[in-house]
Amino acid sequence: MAYYCNFEKKMIYYNRKQKRKGEYEYLKINSHTKKQMNIRKNNGITLVALVITIVLLLIISGISITGTLRGHKETVSAKQLSELEMVQYAILERNTKAQLTKEELPGTDVNIAEVQEIIKDINSKTGDSIELKGTEYKKLEKSDLENLGITSEDDAFIVNYKTGEVINETVRVTNLNKALYIYSKSEK
């Protein structure tokens, strides 16, 4: 076995047998010898450290990307449900105003069979058992929504002014399979 010792820029090379006998060989240390010693010391560890670092970075990036995508889906779903509530508030307010002033409610009449077909489609996608609460439904397009004071919405909605039912006809179901349907009360 060889041992290296630095002493006044000289390297002493000896093995155990020579040490006992007191025989030493002195070699001059030059820069080339030092470089060879450094290269030999660091060969395998650098490659292993690099591989471990890359694997850890891949794992961390995979976790963060998954969390970001899930958070984005939840945000979009919450936004769509919030829009339903905003439309519901607007139609209930307009219905109360229309009862006092006898003005006509915005929207075009929709056949009950069409609405039941939409509800059936929503139920099949979500596994829910939603039932209609009323009988008279209207479809609200962008111009009708602007008439209600909602200017930032592009989707079409089917509503019942008496029950406060609101169905997002364009999207119907969120990314998380939640029905885009809301109601306030049953029709009497």
Q: Round to whole Å and give the CA distance between 49 and 90.
A: 61
Mean pLDDT of 96-115: 92
State pTM to two decimals: 0.64
Q: Where are the domains of the chain?
A: 3-45, 77-182
23-53 pLDDT, tens digit each: 555 445 555 555 555 555 555 567 888 888 8
pLDDT at 9 > cutoff 90: no
Structure-model confidence comparison of residues 7 and 180, the more confident one: 180
Question: What is the per-residue pLDDT for 3?
Answer: 47
